[in-house]
Amino acid sequence: MAGTGKAHLRPGADIILNVEDLVVEFKVGRDKIVKAVSGVSFDLVRGETFAVVGESGCGKSTLGKAILQLPKPTSGKVEFLSKDLTKLKGNDLRDMRPAMQMIFQDPVSSLDPRQPVSAVLAEPLKVWNKGNQVEIDAKIDELLFAVNLDPAVVRDRRSYEFSGGQCQRISIARALALDPTLIICDEPVSSLDVSVQAQILNLLQDMKDRYGLTLIFISHDLAVVKMISTRVMVMYLGKVCEVAAPEELYNHTKHHYTKALVASVPIPDPDRRINAGLIQGEPPSPVNPPSGCRFRTRCPMASDLCAAEEPELREVAPDHFVACHHPVVD
Amino acid sequence: MSVLLKLEDLSVSFATPRGALKAVNHVNLELLKGESLGVVGESGSGKTVLSRATMGLLPGTATRTGTITYNGQDVTALPKDEVRKLWGTGMAMIFQDPMTALNPVRRIGSQLTESLTVRLGMDKKVAREKAIQLLKRVRIPEPELMLRKFPYQLSGGMRQRIMIAIAISCGPEMLFADEPTTALDVTVQAQVLELLSELREEYNMGMILVTHDLGVVAGHTDKIAVMYAGDVVEYAPTRALFKNMKMPYTEALFKSIPRLETPTGTRLPVIEGRLPDPTKNEPGCPFANRCPYVQDKCRAQAPPLVDAGDNHFYRCWFPIGGGQ
């Protein structure tokens, strides 16, 4: 798996983000290079929720940050609203920033503990000169109402006075402040309790409908992704494995890695034990990834071909793409 | 099977500037040798405090009442250094956050052999051999190399395996696992849970698995205690609990789990509202404000723990599917 290719791109649709051959590498030590993202391509149609799924270290968070040019990717193209962000600098890039916002994994540490909520939300509005104090105050109240917090109660409190779920609501309000087109959600619910997780997922869905947002939803939990996304991309060690709509992906899984991910989701039923044995161990180091298909070292179906040749993404069913030499047979 | 651990009327409260904070209220639980108990609840439900109170790991601001009988011995009556002797060989604990539970400036080898030399009196060479065996047992590749590493060189899953190796190193009779997989990926979570179940059978350990996720406990426990605001609100054998939930809170937790079968775009049912303030003593059922089936009686009077037979207990005036 873990292939390259662009068969899954959708030219002609209302594309707001087009990422092609994105590569992100970090230098570590004197001569080692971490290959965090290696030639990933995907596109985003306005209004969809695009999920990026994979284990820790597969490059999904790096991918999200590289889209925002934080830091700039090593090579590749990131075309957002018809502008190639990798070629923009200084104020030109800065002008694009309000349209793309991010929600981080750890809601508590992503808020300044010394600022009251009103200051947290006012900051982006002030930086971008969105009106006088009265208008800004009105906007803050509107944002807090939108995320189901009572402005009168929360405005003057600081982040440490809130639970994780409430902090995540404030982070969502902050991301909404500048009326963005795209929000990148990096594991927004993975540090929350299941009961709170459901509230935040519903809230994201509501905000998306209300403000006409397009979301990139980064997660390691396939069950969460299934609830919320319209298209899913599975990543492994910096490469794309499989791209499909969620129903198709779960019902007709083609990639052995996706199959293992699906099998690992805990099931709240004592009579159905989950199958942890499909893949063992952990991904190899991205400093020295395996040749050919990067998943072959953990894949039950790996052959000589997998070591020699990297699989390319190809369409195996309508709008279902997989990068594997020996895809799962239904 | 004989009883390994028995909690009777266990309560824990903390002294805070706003008054006493009641974290655990009159809990009664029992664990047999080799049995696995899941303790499930939201953040703030008292599940972590419960396991720490049992281990004797509470801070000075805490007050503990009730009895904890371990192997027929009341540990609440024991002096501190006697309790300490139970740690490692009697009870051991795996903490939630494998990133911070290990000492960052000591090598894995020295952290792993510490309990072996201190507790079991092994000499260094024997302890090293034993440590390698332990690392192999928790399926860590190249155990000899691992002994030389520092925690920052390892992934979360590897660190959690090290924590497990340390916890089982002195052959404990009972293991507390406090959210052992919450910080891990689903694939690694599945592996770690499988490993814990294997080890439990192999060493015939009792295990208390503390988690907020009913999905995690379903396949790995014999019985489950659901906690809410410091109370055990439902207590039943695992199969019976999933088949026949009595307490609306258990049902609400169960329904809020995202599943693979759910069609895309479905809204998950949520539990609105929050836990009650643990420093206030309000009448009625603590779940009343969030319960979809609430009636007047629930707000006026706290329900007692009802015995539904077959070791199934619940705390509700109007249980799902009727009483008893």
Q: What is the pLDDT along chain B (324 residues), one digit of tens a residue?
A: 689 999 999 999 999 888 889 999 999 999 999 999 999 998 888 999 999 999 998 988 999 999 999 999 999 999 989 998 899 899 999 988 777 889 999 999 999 999 999 989 999 999 999 999 999 999 888 899 999 999 998 888 889 999 999 999 999 999 999 988 887 888 888 888 999 999 999 999 999 999 988 988 998 999 999 999 999 999 999 999 999 999 999 999 999 888 888 888 888 888 887 788 888 888 899 999 999 999 999 999 999 999 998 999 999 999 998 765
Q: Decide if A221 and B239 are in contact by the 8 Å CB cutoff.
A: no
**pLDDT (0 to 100) of residue A211:** 93
Q: Does B267 touch chain A (CB under 8 A)?
A: yes
Q: Report the largest interatomic distance among the alpha carbons of chain A, rounded to a whole angstrom.
A: 68
Q: Is B175 part of any domain?
A: yes
Range of lowest pLDDT (A8-17, A60-69, A245-254, B313-322): A8-17
Q: Decide if B186 and A269 are in contact by the 8 Å CB cutoff.
A: no
Confidence at A276, pLDDT banded by 50, 70, 90: low
Q: Is B69 part of any domain?
A: yes
Task: Please give the structure tokens belonging to residue A265.
Answer: 């989701």
Q: What is each CA distance from A76 to A21, A24, B108, in whole angstroms? A: 5, 9, 40
Spatial distance between the Cα atoms of A90 and B101, rounded to a whole number of angstroms? 43
Phi/psi of residue B210, each to 5°? -95, 125
Q: Is A330 part of any domain?
A: no
Task: Please give the structure tokens belonging to residue A32.
Answer: 């080692």
Range of lowest pLDDT (A7-11, A223-227, B162-166, B191-195): A7-11
Torsion of CA B141, B147, B149, B154, to 10 degrees: 40
Q: Is B121 part of any domain?
A: no
For A224, name the nearest residue in chain B, comparing CA atoms only. Answer: B258
Q: Is B158 part of any domain?
A: no
Q: Is A295 part of any domain?
A: no
Range of lowest pLDDT (A28-42, A91-105, A265-279, B102-116): A265-279
**pLDDT (0 to 100) of residue A325:** 94
Which positions in chain B touch A230 (Cβ < 8 Å)? 264
Parallel/antiparallel/unpaired status of strands B313-314 and B306-307: antiparallel
Report chain A's mean pLDDT, rounded to a whole number: 91
Interface test with B, best of A58, A256, A282 (most B CBs within 10 A): A282
Q: Which residues of chain A from 156 to 175 reach within 8 Å of chain B, CB to CB?
A: 163-164
A49-83 b/e with 16+ CB inside 10 Å = b?
Answer: bbbbbbbbbbbbbbbbbbbbbeebbbebebbbeee
Task: Please give the structure tokens belonging to residue B241.
Answer: 């609990």
Q: Is A291 part of any domain?
A: no
Q: Is B78 part of any domain?
A: yes
Q: Is A9 part of any domain?
A: no
CATH number at residue A68: 3.40.50.300
Torsion of CA B125, B130, B134, B139, to 10 degrees: 70
How many structural domains compose chain A? 1
Confidence at A320, pLDDT banded by 50, 70, 90: very high
Q: Does B98 touch chain A (CB under 8 A)?
A: no
Domain extent for A167: 15-284+300-322
Q: Does B222 touch chain A (CB under 8 A)?
A: no
**pLDDT (0 to 100) of residue A267:** 86
Q: Is A8 part of any domain?
A: no
Q: Is B162 part of any domain?
A: no
Q: Which residues of chain A from 181 to 240 reach within 8 Å of chain B, CB to CB?
A: 193-199, 201-202, 205, 220-224, 226-230
Interface test with A, best of B99, B186, B214, B264 (most A CBs within 10 A): B186
As a whole number, mean pLDDT of residues A179-200 equals: 90
For B184, name the nearest residue in chain A, comparing CA atoms only. Answer: A56
Parallel/antiparallel/unpaired status of strands B174-178 and B206-211: parallel
**pLDDT (0 to 100) of residue A2:** 52
pLDDT exceeds 90 at position A77 = yes
Range of lowest pLDDT (A46-50, A240-244, A277-281, B130-134): A277-281
**pLDDT (0 to 100) of residue A313:** 93
Phi/psi of residue A162, each to 5°? -115, 160
How many structural domains compose chain B? 1
Q: Is B155 part of any domain?
A: no
Q: Is A74 part of any domain?
A: yes
CATH number at residue B292: 3.40.50.300
Q: Which residues of chain B from 109 to 168 reach within 8 Å of chain A, CB to CB?
A: 139, 141, 155-158
- ipTM rounded to 2 decimals: 0.81
Residue A51 Cα to chain centre, angstroms: 6
For A55, name the nearest residue in chain B, comparing CA atoms only. Answer: B185
Confidence at A1, pLDDT banded by 50, 70, 90: very low
Q: What is the per-residue pLDDT across A132-188, written as a single tens digit (0 to 9) for each?
A: 999 999 999 999 999 989 999 899 999 888 888 899 999 999 999 999 999 999 999
pLDDT exceeds 90 at position A116 = yes
Domain extent for B197: 3-90+170-257+268-314
Q: Does B305 touch chain A (CB under 8 A)?
A: no
